[in-house]
A and B are shown apart, each in its own frame.
Chain A
């Protein structure tokens, strides 16, 4: 269950990085991720979601990342906390 809580390491003293991933087996192109977090996700020519860059989430976009994950109807978005 994804909870939209602020990350524990929110702020300047963070020592972990959050990354986003899309499970292409689950994605059906609803587009909630690129609607809600356009800085992190885009779409391909068929409307399926794509992670922009390597998926590293800047601290300022962590809320968007969690929002995208929590709103994906297919539960296709994973948030990875890397220490």
Chain B
């Protein structure tokens, strides 16, 4: 075996010579009619999307917008599920809705396999990762995660008001993912910038967006270099050595998957932990019940995931078609709102209410079909451990200033400022 020289040249240079995608004009500003002009990045949506979704579900139920070059927003569970299952007519080659559509030639692999991949490639790329994310594999991280949660709570000692989003929730997935990928734990603050760049910066001018995404890939390539010189037992070394179809992975695949694991693992779980603490701070009866009955926590976690599902995905329509009453055009975006599906009264009893001991809960917070969230077992563990540690140490807490709470805009929704009075 010779030296691994796959990463000697920057793979981004060859990609630039290939087909280019489609850029659409950036349209921002107040939404006047959510049925015909929706935007999931405007402040009204970020602050409280549920009444908007409920209204659309009753009167549309598939909303449209000319923004982002054209996009559709289904709000019924049935439609969201049908799209998630139909990988022939809805492509995953870009799963973050923006003003740039990658070229069709990027399918079936996409920029960050397997989340951006379509069949049949998807299956093989996903299979490489599944063993690292089983319940048993994840259980090995539970004790360390618990210790880390307690250390974060130790650091709050003496404070009366804390920001539970910034001082607690966000650090937990950052640490877990840094451990998995074998990145320096002190790089956490950079990860959060990468996340914001990718997921919240969708309406930035295209060149600025490209420059920001480029910073993430520079970081990842530096990590690959470090692991090539100093291989270790982590997912980065695993991906560098992994084989598909009898060959090592393309460098763009290695780095694209690293980007996926880094980005998808962080603000999703951060959002879920934060939204759960927000709910418990504003619903004392649920908080007291969970303090008294910690055994109910796994059930409660499912209900909090249903009611405050943090993740919305995107798809691209493959060809022009009439679908469930609307005329979709090739390359139209679909905003695949699992949060809206999870509050559909046709699917859930008391859909708009948090029923903390809900026993039957067939929610779709982790998606449906072949793209079921790879990290769902990890996310559930982190959420359960983070809430358990918090409730054990800080059983009494309230929202200090409701008007100071801020929520992230875009496809991942959770509190980014959450001032809680803890004593």
Residues of A within 8 A of B (CB): 2, 4, 28-31, 34-35, 43, 45-47, 67, 70-75
Residue B186 interfacial (CB < 8 Å):
no
Question: Across the interface, do B131 and A28 meet the contact criterion of CB distance under 8 Å?
Answer: no
Question: Across the interface, do B360 and A46 meet the contact criterion of CB distance under 8 Å?
Answer: no
Give the interface size class of chain B: 20 to 34
Question: Across the interface, do A47 and B133 meet the contact criterion of CB distance under 8 Å?
Answer: yes
A27 to chain B: closest residue by CB: B372
A28 to chain B: closest residue by CB: B372
Question: Across the interface, do B359 and A47 meet the contact criterion of CB distance under 8 Å?
Answer: no
- Measured between beta carbons, the chain A residues less than 8 angstroms from B119 are none
- Measured between beta carbons, the chain A residues less than 8 angstroms from B161 are none
- Measured between beta carbons, the chain B residues less than 8 angstroms from A47 are 130-131, 133-135, 377
CA distance A74 to B81 in the complex (A): 10
Q: Which of B263-321 contact A (CB under 8 A)?
A: 298, 302
Q: Which of B131, B362, B363 has the most chain A CB atoms closer than 10 A to its own CB?
A: B362
Q: Which of A45, A70, A73 has the most chain B CB atoms closer than 10 A to its own CB?
A: A73
- Measured between beta carbons, the chain B residues less than 8 angstroms from A35 are 135, 298
Question: Across the interface, do A4 and B359 meet the contact criterion of CB distance under 8 Å?
Answer: yes
Describe A's contact surface by its main secondary structure: loop
CA distance A63 to B133 in the complex (A): 28
Known contacts A43-B134, A46-B131; A31/B362 CB under 8 A: no
Residues of B within 8 A of A (CB): 127, 130-131, 133-136, 298, 302, 359-364, 366, 368-370, 372, 376-377
CA distance A35 to B299 in the complex (A): 10
Whole-angstrom distance between the Cβ of B229 and the nearest chain A Cβ: 31
Question: Across the interface, do A30 and B298 meet the contact criterion of CB distance under 8 Å?
Answer: no
Whole-angstrom distance between the Cβ of B343 and the nearest chain A Cβ: 15
Known contacts A47-B130, A70-B360, A73-B364; A31/B369 CB under 8 A: no
CA distance A75 to B135 in the complex (A): 20
Known contacts A29-B372, A31-B377, A47-B377; A73/B134 CB under 8 A: no
- Measured between beta carbons, the chain A residues less than 8 angstroms from B372 are 28-30, 73
Question: Across the interface, do B362 and A70 meet the contact criterion of CB distance under 8 Å?
Answer: yes
